[in-house]
Structures are given as C-alpha cells and as structure tokens.
Amino acid sequence: MNRLKIALLALTFIGLGGALLSSSWLAGATLFIALTGIALSYRKALPKAGWDEPKELRLLHFAFWFFVVASALSWFNAGLGYEGFKTLGSDVRFILFWPLIIALTYSELRASTLFLAFGLTALSALAAVLAHFAQSTETLTPYLAGRLGGGINPIMFGNLALLGGALSLVGGLYFRRQPSDQIKALVLIIAGLAALVVAGLSQTRSNLIALPVLLLLITPLLTPRLRRMSVLVIIIIAAVSFTTSDRIQTMMASLSNGVLEQGITIRFELWQLAWNLFLDNPILGAGLNSFTQAAAEASSRGDISPTILTCCTGHAHNDVLNLMATRGIAGLLSWLFLLGVPLFIFGRYITSRHPATAHMAVAGTMVPAAYIVFGLTEATLSRNLYLTFYLLLIASVSAAFFRELSASCYRPRSVTVSATVITMNEADHIADCLQSARLVADEIIVLDSGSSDGTADIARQYADVVEVTDWPGFGIQKQRALEKATGDWVLSIDADERITPELASEINHRLAEPDADAYKLPWAVTIYGKRLDFGRSGRAPLRLFRREGVRFSDALVHEKILIPDGRKTRTLRGRLTHYTHRDFGHSLEKSSKYAWLGAQEKYRQGKQTRTMVYPTLRALLTFVQVYFIRFGFLDGSVGYLTAVTYAQVTFNKYAGLWTLGKAYPKNDAKS
C-alpha cells in the first residue's frame, strides 16, 4: 500500500474518530480527503485501474447534489439574501461526496478498517466526557446529574455518540466472526456499549426512540436463535431507558397534571409555524433564513410563546417541517433522496450471506435510519456537525461496502448451464456475445435465421450447436432454442448482449447454491459511447432460469419467459451490457421495426385504440417513466435522446394499432 492510501485511511480515522472531540478535526479531514479525490479524478486514477463505477454510487451522488440544488433554488427564489447565502454555504459541502468516494475507493478502504474507525468514534465519546469533566469544577455526582455534552450541544453529542456506539457494536460482531480477531471484537463491543451509556447520560429524548431502532437493525447479523432472544432484550432495554430518563419522567409528571412540558409545547408551536410557512410557499419554500424571521414576526403578534425568541428561532426542530418551510416541496424531496436512497441501497443487503457485505450494509442502513429518528425533534440537517458527519459516514461506508460487495462472489457454480442465442445478421456482435456467455455456460446453442453476413460461420467457432432455420417470430424461435438445451439452467441472451466478468462471477456464485428458480439481469445499455445506468437501463429482463417446466410465449416480438407458478424469481446486481444499435440510423430502423411488430401483435390479440389521443398519452407517459421515474436524466444528453426515442416507439406502436383497426375492421377480419 502506497503512502497516499495510508494517508487517506489515517484521515478517515481522524475525521470519524475525532468528530466528537473537535468539529475542526472532522471538517479538516473531510476537506483534505475530498481535495485528494479531486486530484485523483483529474488523473483518472480509478478508470486507469479498471474501476467499474457502481450505478448506486451515481444515485447517491444525485441525492447529495439534489439537496444542494434545492437549497440554491430556495435562496435564489427568496432574493439571494446574505443570511441565506451562509446557510447555502453549509449545504454546499455535500458536493464533496463524489471526490470523497473517489479518494476512499482509491484508498482500498475495507470493512475491517472502517469498523476500527467506528470503534474510535465510540471511544472518543467517552474521551470527550472525561476530558470535559477534567476541566469542570464540579464533582462527579452533580456532573452526571446534568446533561452530558462533552463540551458541545448535548443533543448533538448524545445523538452522534449513540450512532457511533451502535456502529462500533456492528464492527464488534463482524470481528467476532473472525477467530483471529477476538480481541478487536471485545474492544469494539466494550467501546460501543460505553458510548451507548454516555449517549444515555446526555438525556436526549430522540435517543430513546433511536436506540431500539438501531439495536433492531443489528438483529439480522445474529443467528435465528439469538435473534429471537435479542428482540426481547431490546424491548427490556428500551423500557428501562424510557422509565429511567429524567426528562421523560418530567414530561410524564407534567402530563399527569394536565399540562404539556414547556419543551414539548414550544415544539408544537414551532411545527405549526413551519407548516403555515410551507402552505404559504409550497414549491420552493419561504427562503433559507425565513424561519427565524417568521418566528420573530409571530412573536410580535403574540401568536407564539415569547420564550421561543430566546431559545429556538433558528429552525423548526424537525427536519421534514424545517425543509418544507424553507425549501418547499423541493426540500421535502431533498430529504427523501438524501436519507431514503442510502436506506434503500444498503437495506437490500442486510441479509447477505457474505459477512463483510452484510455488516457494512447494516452500518450503512443505520446512518440514515438514525438521522430520520434524530430529525423528528431536531433539525439535524441544519447543523454543520451533523451535515459533515453524515457526509463522511455515507462516503466511507459506500466505498467500503462496494469493495466488499465486489469480493462477495467467489464460489463456482454447482449446476450445468446452457446458453441459447437466436441470430439474424449479427456478425458484428456474435463473437463477443458467445465469448462472454462461455464465462457461465457449459453449452452454447445458436439458432440462426438465414443470415447473409456469415453469422453462422462465426458462431460455429464458439458454440456447441449451430443450426440455420426459418424465422417464425421471436417467441417461437427462442422456444426452439430452449428445446435443444440440456443444462440444468438456461441463459437466454440476445446477440447484442454481453455477460460482464462481474455478472459472470455473480451468476456462478449464485448457482453454487441457488436461492431462486429464475434471475433477472439488469441491463446496462451502451450507445453512442456511453453506458446508461438509468432510464433505458432501468429494466431487468428475465434471462436466467431453471430449465424444467419453462417455455417461451409465441409472441412475434417482446416474447415472455413463462415460469411455472410457485417458483421464486430474484434480480441480480451485475449488469448485462446491451448494445442496442450501431448508430442513430440503425436505431431508427430497429425502432420502426419493433413498433410495427408490436402493433401487429396487439392487433392479433384483439386489442385496438379508437383515437390518436391514446397513442399521444402513452408516448408522454413513456417519456416521463424513462426520463424521470427511472432517473434517465442522470444519463445526460444520451439519456434524454433515449427517452424521446422510447416515447416515439410507443407512439408509433399504438398509432400503428389505430391504422390496423381502420384498415381492417374487426367484423371484416372475422368474416
């Protein structure tokens, strides 16, 4: 490992481990890592090393950027004020996510290293409390009776200490599975428990909700027997924490007297104020610094408690309401993307059979889950410490997670696989297609429909069976190829598709011990020199299946693989590269062909469209689905062109169906 990689790992330890000791350590380490990432990007260090950029990282990158864009739009809409500019300056740090990813991926950050950094975060919580107590003039008893904050805001300290402690526990459980790392496991578990205790002493109410949530997220890492026991233990811990909390007891005492505690009353008033502010400015909000001004005006009118002006005017003490009030619907979407995207990406893998992947997935799920809970009663996304800690946590977890995920497929398949391909003038594609299929197939079968460009001759160099037949349509031809297969499983791919090495490793690994009867393979459409990760690539066609009992439909185009009822289908992560066309002219040729075949197939099925309004609406819906719902806009200009092309195909298909109904009325066709 070179010096730069060691330095990057050291900065990661400083940033995460020193966050609760000094926010400057966290900010400085994050900045230096990001600057290194910018330099590495300029040198194209990762592409030169063969890095296959995960599309999930691009989605995470979008989530961070969207938060910044929502803030910028709100600031612009509110008149470009100076106070708003300061808030925007805090949010802009999120654009450092991609440079952080580049640098941390280059550093070869692994789960084992990152978990040690989490342990340091937990230990720093204890160290911060001890250091602050050493400087205090109080004795231990009154010191502990107060709200411990380690020298910073007790709420922030308590929240981040709790999260650091939970992440340290995940690391301890990971090392517990390694016979040679039992000492590390013990240290991280003790550090994690100590951090949880320290977090409890901060008397932060949101921790009482977050604690059981974070502990429950750990349960998938346990054995089934321990899992059942742990749920009971978590319930007991939550109950004890709740009943022994001084602040909860004070709140309950107030309720018993029919009066809400002042802190709760204030929050209700702030939430109502934020909601009213959103209703007045629903699209882009009232402005980044609008809440403070609105609180002052409400106080002068007597609409809110006067005490709010002295304690709580900076934000609405709720992330969602605060973002909606200041940034409108754009702010709500920014919250959903920022916390929801990592929650979805990591949450899918918490039950992975690969220990490092599963533990990193749990850690990655914990971070947004914790911030969601913390944000119920606190505007975490309005405070610099929270923002920077979240940024570095998600970037470091992502870098380590995808490195572990790429190393999680290593087993050889235990079943035989037949690959089937149908061809017609595919000389430009067939060799590469069959070579890629050989990575996972014991047998390759090619059915050619009378190619005139030598496709069949090329195929004979790579395939086990090559036959030339007539052309009855896509469904029937693929069924013919399927009937010639002898393997336990069948991989049905098209000549313009490729099995990438990463996908091949995943297929072989899954088929060592199949957990489903069929698998969908996500497309990675490649056109005009660009790989599309979204939009057109948002689909995952069924391509790999257990042969017994399966058949193809007899559709002329867009045939379906008919799987018997009761069989399980899963989607793999690896990408099936799809070279849909050679150039734009070829795209137009294929589009018109498939549109007309699709129209004929629907007419054959007895379907019809009575007006041209329907083709138009379907085309618009197709564009919205491909470009917006499937995030096709993240693929740039090619993504836009692809969405328009798809919309055109949809229009042509249903317009063709309309013409068929006009030319051949149903009654005439039957007679």
pLDDT in tens, 483-493: 999 999 999 99
Q: How many residues does the chain have?
A: 671
**Average pLDDT, integer, range 364-378:** 95
Cα–Cα dist 481/130, whole Å: 72
List own/partner pairs for 311-314 with CB under 8 A and 24 or more apart.
311/266, 312/266, 312/270, 314/379, 314/382
Question: Which two structure tokens, joined as six digits, stand for 497?
Answer: 């598709």
Cα–Cα dist 487/550, whole Å: 13
Q: Which residues contact 280 (CB under 8 A, 6 or more apart)?
A: 286
* Nearest residue to 36 via CA among 90, 109, 89: 109
pLDDT in tens, 218-243: 999 998 888 888 888 888 888 887 77
pLDDT in tens, 287-299: 998 888 888 788 7
DSSP per-residue string spanning 315-353: S-SSHHHHHHHHHHHHHHHHHHHHHHHHHHHHHTTTT-S
Q: What is the model's pLDDT at position 670? A: 42
CA 59 to chain centroid, in Å, comes to 6
Q: What is the model's pLDDT at position 669? A: 42
**Average pLDDT, integer, range 10-24:** 93
Cα–Cα dist 423/443, whole Å: 17
Q: What are phi and psi of 272, to 5 degrees?
A: -65, -40
Q: What is the model's pLDDT at position 142? A: 52
**Average pLDDT, integer, range 20-33:** 94
Residue with more model confidence, 304 or 198: 198
Rounded to a whole number of angstroms, the distance between the first and last alpha carbons of the chain is 79
Cα–Cα dist 307/285, whole Å: 25
Pick the CATH number of 417-578 from 1.10.3720.10, 3.40.309.10, 3.90.550.10, 2.60.40.10: 3.90.550.10
Helix (H, G, I), strand (E, B) or coil at 386: helix
Cα–Cα dist 93/66, whole Å: 12
Percentage above 90 pLDDT, the chain: 68
CB atoms inside a 10 Å sphere around CB 185: 18
Beta-bridge partner residues of 489:
417, 546
**CA dihedral sign of residues 307, 310, 314, 319:** negative
Helix (H, G, I), strand (E, B) or coil at 218: helix
Q: What is the model's pLDDT at position 154? A: 85
Cα–Cα dist 173/178, whole Å: 9
Instruction: Say which residue the tokens 């190619």 belong to.
Output: 451
Q: What is the model's pLDDT at position 26? A: 96
* Cα angle, residue 657 at apex, residues 653 and 659 outer, rounded to 5°: 115
Q: What is the model's pLDDT at position 517? A: 97
Angle between helices 111-135 and 154-176 (to 10 degrees): 140
Domain limits, the chain: 3-406, 417-578, 584-670
pLDDT in tens, 130-188: 877 776 656 555 555 556 766 778 889 999 999 999 999 999 999 999 889 999 999 99
Cα–Cα dist 249/240, whole Å: 12
